[in-house]
Amino acid sequence: MKIRPQRLKQGDTVGLVALSSPLKMEQLEAKTAFIESLGLHYKLGQTIGLPDGMLAGTDEERLEDLHAMIKDPEIKGIFCVRGGYGLARIVDQIDYQLLEENPKVIWGFSDVTSLHLAVNEFSNLVTFHGPMLSNGEEAMDALSAKMFQQLFSPLEIQYSEMISPLETISGGVVRGELTGGNLNRIVRTLGTKFEFNAQGKIIVLEDIKEELEHIDGMMNQLRQARKLEQAAGFVIGSFTELGKEETYEEVLGIMREYLAPLNKPVLAGFQIGHCKPNVAIPLGVEAILDADEKVLRILPGVE
């Protein structure tokens, strides 16, 4: 069993950090306003407003920011305010023992997948795959905002067709630990110390700005690395901003080719990832995927 962080309470302080690409400062106000709407206080990390070309500061600055938030006893949760690129450059330098000894909420998605995978394995800690506190400079949609309530109370999440239409690629029911996230970032772990652990797990897959050829290539790489056969089941999230005239249905065609022959539960159509709404889920907890009844049930992510 992985460690579940303590639930947040009204009046708690959380840290806002940019551990990948730099944040556009005109977006900060919407993000801090949302945190305040949850009844939380916040501290800005040193990486907020700290550009260094394509990254929010140097590797050393971003690592120092993360460690400072972990060490700070006042900080009850760490929210990544931007994805983009760069977290994988520091995962081999993170003090995972420090985080395991000071477990707290970690929230983000996209490039933050690199952090989720590493923390789930090396700190034995549940983390949260969810939106970056706003839709750019705009307020978040209602359902995405509602999903933050799972941080304040141990709630079981049930994702069914009441949220979005779902499509069964391969039937069956399975229970396993939920993991995964951004397909590109998952594949980039292969051959490293931080190689994606798929054994007996339910894998979430989503991505953005990838052409069908690239999606096929990444799925083939996972197949040849034997990750697909090791997994217990698959949750297919959003694949947005595809190549010209390419469609989500064509993405599902690729998923059928690789996943249906495995005879494991595969359910697609989840509004998880680069989409609106972006339904937040805990990673590292047990879940039940029922591809026949078209439902995903996820145990609470906080204590």
Instruction: Note the CATH architecture for domain 13-151.
Output: 3-Layer(aba) Sandwich (3.40)
> In sequence order, what E strands does the chain have?
13-17, 41-44, 75-80, 105-108, 127-129, 157-159, 167-170, 173-182, 202-208, 233-240, 266-268, 281-283, 286-290, 295-298
What integer pLDDT is reported at residue 260 of this predicted model?
98
The answer to whether residue 110 is catalytic is yes
Tokens of 120: 């789930």
Position 135 scores a pLDDT of 77
Mean pLDDT of 153-172: 97
Over residues 290-302, the mean pLDDT reads 98
pLDDT of residue 139: 77
| pLDDT(53) > 90 | no
pLDDT at 38: 97
Mean pLDDT in residue range 155-165: 97
pLDDT tens per residue across span 66-88:
999 999 999 999 999 999 999 99
Q: In the chain, what percentage of residues exceed pLDDT 70?
A: 100
Strand, helix or coil for residue 288: strand
Domain boundaries, the chain: 13-151, 157-298
CATH architecture assigned to 157-298 = 3-Layer(bba) Sandwich (3.50)
Q: What pLDDT shows up at residue 262?
A: 98
214 is catalytic: no
Predicted confidence (pLDDT) per residue in 115-149, tens digit: 999 999 999 999 999 999 987 777 789 999 999 99
Q: Which of 57, 117, 71 is nearest to 92 (CA)?
A: 117
Give pLDDT, residue 138.
Answer: 75
Q: What is the pLDDT of residues 282-295, one digit of tens each?
A: 999 999 999 999 99
Q: What is the pLDDT of residue 114?
A: 98
Q: Of these residues, 129, 206, 210, 238, which one is catalytic? A: 206
Separation between Cα atoms, residue 178 and residue 159, nearest integer Å: 13
Average pLDDT of every residue of the chain: 96
The Cα 12–Cα 5 span in angstroms is 14
116 is catalytic: no
Determine the pLDDT at residue 140.
86
pLDDT digits (tens, 9 = 90+) for 216-267: 999 999 999 999 999 999 999 999 999 999 999 999 999 999 999 999 999 9
Q: Which of 21, 61, 116, 274 is catalytic?
A: 274
Identified catalytic residue from 20, 110, 134, 144: 110
Question: What average pLDDT score do residues 106-119 get?
Answer: 98
Sheet harboring 286-290: ordered strands across? 157-159, 295-298, 286-290, 173-182, 202-208, 233-240, 266-268, 167-170
Please say if the pLDDT value at position 52 is more than 80. no
In percent, the amount of the chain with pLDDT more than 90 equals: 96
Q: What is the pLDDT of residues 32-49, one digit of tens each?
A: 999 999 999 999 999 999
